[in-house]
Structure 1
């Protein structure tokens, strides 16, 4: 499927105009970044795997009635999506203390929270995506109270779905981040959609038995081969692309 002009290039994806009005093509790159892009590398096959993860998860969420921007996967690295206006927030759900939360609050990584916790960060790389309160969001008009309530509700539903999916393959869902976008129809009516991606790039995933990290912390903390970790999750979900191996899928031109 022919793609149109480039709209945006981020750290892990490129967005192009889609073949029909109101659509985009999302291309998954092999680039890996951490610490606000201070650490960078190219990981062979990462984009192919993340495209498959995203397809698998978004398809399941759509089937449950949670509206997402995902329409269908086009090829190894591209998917067709609804065009949305991204809400400038990251919505973070934490089930276990890890990463920045553990450091910020002086907790030992792995501390089980009494219930899932929702946090928000303002999407601005130059500021390090700072945490913000719901009051900040309303005062700065990044989202309305109604949109905030809808995002929180959907985030907890995503958490229920992902937690069950991962537990079924022996993986603990520690935390994850998601983003939302506004889709407008011809009459100006707005629908809030889950957007961007859900993959091991945006989740913390620990093996239940061993505690082995199967997410981007492998890259952040130099814990081994990132493609091996992602491939293990894909293997357990039975979505490893044809030709997948320990060396990872090859670049699709």
Structure 2
């Protein structure tokens, strides 16, 4: 790691200069944060799980024609990704009321949305990633109207894919957030799904019991976060079903 040039360090990942032009190495850390980093902890094995789970989802999206920044997994904690121009928005898709949405709208958690709702928040930790309307996005030049339309279409395709995959293993996709970036090929530009897709960025509830299998476990002190993420990975076939998580060192299938 010391030989690499660090490009960016976030709360859960670090980006390094890649081995080839227009590539980066994305390193998944074990750090867990909540409430805009007011609550912090180190969860052994979390980065390993998120690396493998994000790979699983990104590969699945590519297979159905949704472009992503993912190129390949390098090892247990690192991915090779395309360098993209990140759009400074978190794109949130809600299938059921939960979290801040329930508080903001006075709707009981778990209430189904009449249709998937797409929201945008401006990526700025110092401001708490505030929700912004489409008018702000266009007025401040974060994205054009055409890009915004494409972003919504991509987000809904991701939602269809993730909802189906999760439902197949007995998990309800309550909501999730993604980031998108621009990739240029001469004069041609396309949008790709970037950052990560993992239990860090999704709300996942067991369909039968309602048990939470996402970062709310950490936010709300509901148990061991790595156990929850391991459960998701096991159901998806990323980990063998006979593996437990006693030591914080998960064993993953290559």
- Asked whether the two chains share a fold, i.e. TM above 0.5, the reply is yes
Residue of structure 2 equivalent to 1:53? 53
CA contact (8 A) 1:7 1:15 kept: yes
Rounded Cα–Cα distance in structure 1 between residues aligned with 2:164 and 2:139:
36
Residue of structure 2 equivalent to 1:133? 133
Rounded Cα–Cα distance in structure 2 between residues aligned with 1:5 and 1:208:
44
Rounded Cα–Cα distance in structure 2 between residues aligned with 1:222 and 1:94:
23
Rounded Cα–Cα distance in structure 2 between residues aligned with 1:54 and 1:241:
17
Counterparts in 2 of 1:172 and 1:250: CA distance versus 1, 3 Å: closer
Q: Helix, strand or coil: the match of 1:25?
A: strand
Residue of structure 1 equivalent to 2:145? 145
Q: Helix, strand or coil: the match of 2:165?
A: helix
Q: Name the TM-score, length of structure 2 as normaliser.
A: 0.95
Q: Helix, strand or coil: the match of 1:67?
A: coil
Counterparts in 2 of 1:60 and 1:235: CA distance versus 1, 3 Å: same
Rounded Cα–Cα distance in structure 2 between residues aligned with 1:100 and 1:117:
14
Residue of structure 2 equivalent to 1:19? 19
Counterparts in 2 of 1:69 and 1:84: CA distance versus 1, 3 Å: same
CA contact (8 A) 2:52 2:238 kept: yes
Structure 2 runs not aligned, ≥5 long: none
Residue of structure 2 equivalent to 1:70? 70
CA contact (8 A) 1:97 1:108 kept: yes
- Alpha-carbon deviations, 1:63-111, whole Å to 9, x = none? 1111100001000000000000110000000000000000111111111
CA contact (8 A) 2:179 2:195 kept: yes
- Alpha-carbon deviations, 1:21-62, whole Å to 9, x = none? 010000000000000000000000000000011000000101
> Which range is displaced more, 187-196 or 170-179?
187-196
Shift of 1:188: 4.2
Shift of 1:223: 0.3
Q: Helix, strand or coil: the match of 1:172?
A: strand
Shift of 1:240: 2.1
Q: How many residues align?
A: 250
CA contact (8 A) 2:177 2:201 kept: yes
Q: Helix, strand or coil: the match of 2:49?
A: helix
